Amino acid sequence: MTTTAYVLDGNARYHHTATCTALDTARLFTRGDITEVTVGTTDHTPCLVCVAAPSAEWVVTADNLGELLELVGPSKVHYAPAPPGHYVSVLADGLTVMAHKGQPRAWARFGDTIRRERGGRYIVQHAATETEA
């Protein structure tokens, strides 16, 4: 099955409409161009914001960071110092989920899972690191 979709250069996700808010957010981060393409269901992954049945649990990755900014609110990108030799001083390394109903802010690193609980509260489950495994 194929469908007409919109993709951002260098991204494996597709969007159903060119006006998807997550597509705009991702475009601002990457400064990439949007292209209208015909995609098969196995070629690309659908956008988390555009998908018909939204989920209540997401794994944070560099590819879905812009989409999670639209879904998990309030939140913001978390930055860490860039390794030596990079031309920038900081790099995005996850998402900060802002405090909710007396709970502290939580930092979801790439690989961590964000889960929406009843009442709109978000829980961050950290992935096991190499030292923990």
For residue 44, the model assigns a pLDDT of 67
In whole angstroms, what is the distance from residue 79 CA to residue 101 CA? Answer: 24
For the chain, the domains span 1-50, 55-133
pLDDT in tens, 15-54: 777 777 777 776 666 667 777 777 665 566 777 777 655 6
Cβ(76)–Cβ(28) under 8 Å?
Answer: no
pLDDT in tens, 80-120: 999 998 888 999 999 999 876 677 889 999 999 999 887 77
